[in-house]
Amino acid sequence: DTGVSQDPRHKITKRGQNVTFRCDPISEHNRLYWYRQTLGQGPEFLTYFQNEAQLEKSRLLSDRFSAERPKGSFSTLEIQRTEQGDSAMYLCASSRVGQGARDTQYFGPGTRLTVL
Amino acid sequence: RKEVEQDPGPFNVPEGATVAFNCTYSNSASQSFFWYRQDCRKEPKLLMSVYSSGNEDGRFTAQLNRASQYISLLIRDSKLSDSATYLCVVNMLTGGGNKLTFGTGTQLKVEL
């Protein structure tokens, strides 16, 4: 399968713990996006990278959240001192820009986080 | 006011029916427009892009009215497999990237 992959698919943690999620984009996709989706809502933009550079962060991304894409390939999203309000599906998407590519975003299966 | 507004539904229709979804967006600077489909507890998948001239893909037709900031999706001859949530998505060019803004989604249930 050459689509976007995310790991883990499910994570249950206790309030106050730190969690880290990983996203592997489609090969050769230079842009990578993180979104968060809660029940009954559409996904909300969190941040995005072009290659290894983080170019934009949403106001939703508090100081407890940090994302990296150190080599311009996979990305990690870390949440420190988790709160119950962090419970959501965390979605990663990737796209390719340049050389006429349309920057269509393709989503991974998501990581479902439950904070107890 | 939400940036992208949709009727959440659910729309319950019989198999073979034609169903239409509407969506409005607030930012006139929006660059491009899409419909994504999301099945229960799955990731969103691109259904189709939406162009000002209107575009069709099989049983699906999408329309964009920039003056009214309005997007529509028409599904003809609906199938049981069309049951899903349909997300209206607007792309606003920002910081050199493309930030997708999603509506809350419209739930469709196609019944026998």
pLDDT digits (tens, 9 = 90+) for B14-41: 999 999 999 999 988 888 899 999 999 8
Strand partners, B6: B23
Peptide bond into A8 cis (omega under 30): yes
Local structure of B66: helix, strand or coil: coil
| pLDDT-wise least confident of A31-35, A65-69, A98-102 | A98-102
Confidence category of residue A102, pLDDT binned at 50, 70, 90: low
Q: Which residue in chain A has the smallest CA separation from B46?
A: A106
Cβ distance B43 to A41 less than 8 Å, yes or no, reads no
The token pair at B36 is: 């994504």
Task: Specify the pLDDT at position B30.
Answer: 82
CA-based torsion, B109, B78, A93, A24: positive or negative: positive
CA-based torsion, A116, B40, B87, A7: positive or negative: positive
Interface residue of B3, B21, B43 to substitute, partner A, most A CBs within 10 Å: B43
Cβ distance B96 to A55 less than 8 Å, yes or no, reads yes
Confidence category of residue B52, pLDDT binned at 50, 70, 90: confident
The token pair at A16 is: 């106050």
